[in-house]
Amino acid sequence: MLDTNSIRSALEAKLRSLVSELQTIAVLNTETDDWEAQPVGAESAEPDSIDGADVVEEWNERHATVAVLEVDYRNVRRALQKIEDGTYGTCEISGKPIEPERLAANPLARTCITHMNNEGDLPL
């Protein structure tokens, strides 16, 4: 039997830290539920102090960071939803219970060990 209460607490803490990290560089579009990277320099008092190339580079970096954080954000939210639905710990491909050691290593796992290589094919 999974201790979903402690998993839920850990996931909620993870979600809070992801959101606060995302909020420093992006804004949540509540209509699409997408995080959108904020323009570089928007928070800077002296936008003239950085030149164009730096801005482009930082923008690309910020986009990449937001993309990575957003995947985590969605995975954590999905896992929390699955706890609510009572489907947490069930492989999304075979419907079989996910091995406890796999969940211990990765509480966000969506598949059993047999299907872990197919996890990337699942919709976000």
In the list 14, 82, 110, 115, the residue contacting Zn ion (rule: CB under 5 A) is: 115
Residue 101 C-beta: closest distance to Zn ion, Å: 15
Residue 97 C-beta: closest distance to Zn ion, Å: 9
Establish if 93 lies at the interface with Zn ion (CB under 5 A).
yes
Q: Which is nearer to Zn ion, 76 or 91 (CB)?
A: 91
Q: 4-23 and 52-85 are packed helices; what angle lies between their axes, rounded to 10 degrees?
A: 160
Q: How far is CA 40 from CA 45, 83, 99, in A?
A: 12, 37, 43
Q: Are 97 and 112 in contact (CB under 8 A)?
A: yes
* Binding stretches for Zn ion (CB under 5 A): 91, 93-94, 112, 115
